[in-house]
Structure 1
Amino acid sequence: MESRQRALVLHRLPYRETSLLLDLFTEQQGRIRLVALGARRRRSTLQGCLQVFTPLQIQWRGTGGTLQTLRQAEALSLSLPLTGRALYSALYINELLCRLLVPDVSYEALFGQYLQTLCQLAASDGQYEPILRCFEFALLQALGYGVDFQRCAATGTLVQDQVHYRYQAEYGFVTAAVASQDSFSGQQLRALAAGQLSDAATLRAAKIFSRLAFKPYLGARPLKSRELFY
């Protein structure tokens, strides 16, 4: 069976003597793994376009659950101009997708969000944190791990601005006995629910939440891309 759709390379590795092993995020089929035969040969027409952050139109052959073969790839535009911390941020997103997306499952809305996020990072004047947090929240929602920021998970009541809450993985926010570095005020949770990430305190709360929310699904193996930020 052959398929053709838009895609971006998430990760690439040398495969045998002349080929590449590719993890791609496709528009309709989600994350897939393909082998690009002969892509590392000097005269291969695939060398220039099979780069991360280059929007592609690809065609491949095979079925889910097996190593499929890339048949054709065409760059739809130049690679997005990502440098410095924008590049590190984009690599971090790619690693999250490689680690968390279930293979051969459609995440069509998330694909659009991913492409939009890369464009935002490329155009940003250095304000990368809000862009990353918004994508992390969208990824959690797409995976079915989204949470209700506005209600206490234990009681179902609306959060109160001056009360502090702690996050319980795969459950939600519950009242905290005392405020701590990992707790959240009701005011912060309401801001997160509204996507209001304009001040430093709310951004810090969003980052803490994301780390806590992703931890059960990433496991003990650390993200290599986080090392780039230090």
Structure 2
Amino acid sequence: MEWREEAIVLGVRRHGESSVIAEVMTRARGRHLGIVRGGRSRRQQPVLQPGNSVEAHWRARLDEHMGTFILEPVTLRAASLIESAAGLNAVQLAAAHIRLLPERDPHPRLYDGLAVLIEHLTEPQIVATLMLRFEIALLEELGFGLDLARCAATGQTDDLVYVSPKTGRAVSRQAGAPWHDKLLALPAFLAEEGGAEGADELREAFRLTGYFLARNVFGPRGIKEPEARHGLLAALAKDGRSTVS
């Protein structure tokens, strides 16, 4: 059994004296593991950094085996990430999110989102927005999608400013007014094209996705929110992009 496909490195862990187990994300085959022989060598280490794009060649005797990887560099990003705390944490957070998915389960939408994200890791403002979109897509892929397109009460598609914490559906300003203190804020840029993406809007958006991730994903699995998420929010705040405090 074998295949070749472009992939994004998520992480590695030691395996024996000189090898590593590499974890990558591919568009057609999802999150995939494989042994890289000599992966701890000076030549291989720069290639195996999280966030790098590689050409992956996987081989195994049987499909259910872990198999081995030969990973050839396509785009190496480690050097540029040294100066970007937001970028480093974004890569780690995206990898943590993807690990919530079953191995070898294809999720092309998330792969495409990750591919766009890693192209902007040194641009904090863009990273913030792309990570929010990634978390919304993740919730949908896990079966907990948010409905931010129309009001749950009236069906209208404009003036959507709230989200129900119970249903994850948008609520209009008028319909939600009597319960505004019990509803989550819906930033305009998530509800419509061209909405503002200022500090307050980003803060509200990360609180929104964080709430549903905690309730529907982290809590039921008995796991904590990834440390990289706290690190990303702190890096964005330091950069002047105020988020969750």
TM score, norm. by length of structure 1: 0.79
Give the structure 2 partner of residue 90 of structure 1.
Answer: 91
Q: 1:224 aligns with which of 220, 227, 234?
A: 227
Within-5 A mapping of 1:1-12: 1-12=1-12
Residue 181 of structure 2 is matched in structure 1 by 180
The 1-side partners of 2:92 and 2:11 are apart by 9
Following TM superposition, the consecutive aligned residue runs of length 4 or more in structure 1 with deviations greater than 6 angstroms are none
Distance 1:163 1:227 in 2: 26
**Structure 2 counterpart SS, 1:21:** strand
- C-alpha distance 53-151 of structure 1, shift in aligned 2 (>3 A): same
CA contact (8 A) 1:25 1:111 kept: yes
Unaligned runs of 5+ in 2: 235-245
**CA deviation after TM superposition for structure 1 residue 159, in Å:** 6.5
CA distance in 1 between counterparts of 2:101 and 2:38 reads: 27
Tell me the alpha carbon deviations over residues 102-158 of structure 1, each in whole angstroms, 9 at most, x when there is no partner. Answer: 221222233222111111222x165542232122223334444322113344x4633
Unmatched 5+ residue regions in structure 1? none
What is the DSSP-based 3-state SS (H/G/I as helix, E as strand, rest coil) of the residue aligned with 2:90? helix
CA distance in 2 between partners of 1:33 and 1:182 (Å): 41
How many pairs are equivalent? 220
Aligned to 1:102, the other structure's residue is in SS state: coil
Native 8 Å contact 1:137 1:210 kept in 2: yes
1:172 is displaced (CA, Å) by 3.3
1:203-222 to 2 correspondences below 5 Å: 203-215=202-214, 216-219=216-219, 220-222=222-224
The aligned amino acid for 1:58 is A
**Cα deviation, residue 55, structure 1:** 0.8
Separation in 2 of the partners of 1:156 and 1:64? Answer: 50
Q: Distance in 2 between matches of 1:163 and 1:198?
A: 14
Are positions 1:60 and 2:58 aligned together?
Answer: yes
Given residue 91 of structure 1, which amino acid in structure 2 is its aligned partner? Q
